[in-house]
Chains A and B, each alone.
Chain A
Amino acid sequence: MTAVSEVLARAKDEGRAALVGYLPVGFPDVEGSVRAVRALVESGVDIVEVGLPYTDPLMDGPVIQTAATRALEGGVRVRDVFTAVRAVHEAGAAAVVMTYWNPVLHYGVDRFAADLSAAGGSGLITPDLVPDEAQEWIEASDRHDLDRIFLVAPSSTTERLRMTTGAARGFVYVAALMGVTGARTSVGDAAGALVERTRAVTDLPLCVGLGVSTREQVAQVAGFADGVIVGSALVRTLVDAPDPDTGLADLRALARELAAGAREGGR
């Protein structure tokens, strides 16, 4: 069993949803992002999605884009992602990397998988790589025993839900809405319906993300999903902070709130 599935199974035993938190490596700088991912773990986040900044993040809204751009301006490198992954692993949570495909492809798919595995990472989320194009990654993730976390969307047909979940391992990322990352005022009806449709075709755990930002929303989603993914809201605490210490304190406070939400809403 890989770390991600262990964590998800444990949360299930505890009758709650797992909390998945996203932060990009390199923002405000590499050291600061390592401190931030540790803070997430200490505040009750079960799985950390370590974002690898990319110049053309076409599925990200303004908050994550701002952080990624600043990380790149600060000179973040692909290899820095493994530093953050190791920190999450050592802090006792599961780490997955979330990134667009080109940096992985350019680094070398097998080399990336080997380094991710060596750093204690569990797997990779690929927002712009669907299973149809993922043969090389499927083989590399098999070789290195890594989870392949593909996304399903409200527009996915039943046939595609079946194909995508069939190719996935660890969990399935259920995109709660049609759109890009960013906080929304409500989670919307699409998420619950999509979870139901996806459950009908797979036994894999389902984690819901995109637009979830508050304790109440986490609790709501925890009512029907195995995990709840929060990104932009966490990143925003760091983007908006007047200084790094305040940012870290705000991050901890929000993560604790969200973790409480994941317990309130458990199935």
Chain B
Amino acid sequence: MTRVNWNRVAPLLQRLGSVIGLLLLFIVLSVLSPDFLSASNLLSVLRQISVNALIAFGMTFVILAGGIDLSVGAILAFTGAITGGLLAAGHGVTVAVGAGLGLGLLLGMVNGVLVSWGRVAPFIATLGTLTLLRGLTLVYTQGTPIAAPNQGFALLGKGYLFHLVPLPVVLMFAAFGVCGFLLRGTVFGRHVMAIGGNEEAARLSGVRIAPMKLAIYGLSGLLSAFAGIVLTSRLDSAQPTAGVGYELDAIAAVVLGGTSLSGGRGWLFGTLVGALLIGFLNNGLNLLGVSSFYQQVVKGIVILIAVLLDRRK
């Protein structure tokens, strides 16, 4: 009888833990709720998680590189408001969406500048931009929602592909494909991993840290803006307080997916699984009629288990 070697089992368990957890949750919910396992419910959950997943994909890069981005929800709100404002002013979808995405990229890069050249801790830098952008959003919207009536724009959040698959789900998987390729198939992705593993070693082996961080936070900003645009479309309006607390949901998805908060180790597929876990948990507890107070308790416990698994390495 040999003792279990935790050093070997833990990383594997951590990786597969999220997938196993998702499968277990799936089985339990299918048994408990007769409405759970239907195509329309599963598609509906996929649509519900799409905004969180888009943000979480960007967050995965940031966390893999050893950073954190608290400003994602605020970027989502601000870019959503600007996009909504441009649409309300009569601009076309291309202009409004293009401006929103461009702005998101820019705001993310501001985070990158603060973190790399400004040498501010990512937690503090993005906390600052979070507060700043929340304020700017309130200033711009005057605290009231901006209605964004535009048939074409409405498709982004409310449309369907082939009358079946919600468009936000299509966009989520498209972003997943692109981000997955960036992470696994490009030099950029390898450098992200290298920085998160050991920044000094990465620098010595020729990785240009500052431009990399600019790109990483820029990507996070871009995806947050994308999520903000989808959300604005889904709500028919840009809400001045949209996305409050979304940074925590995104971090939770990343951590649940088995990506290490200390950087350098993780995978994008895990983030998708993490977002699904949160989504199915919310959906299942709603279907079972569990009070929203207990829903938060359950979500907290699940996150704690994931973090404990993370510590076992």
A and B: bona fide binding partners: no
Q: A-side interface residues toward B, CB under 8 Å?
A: none
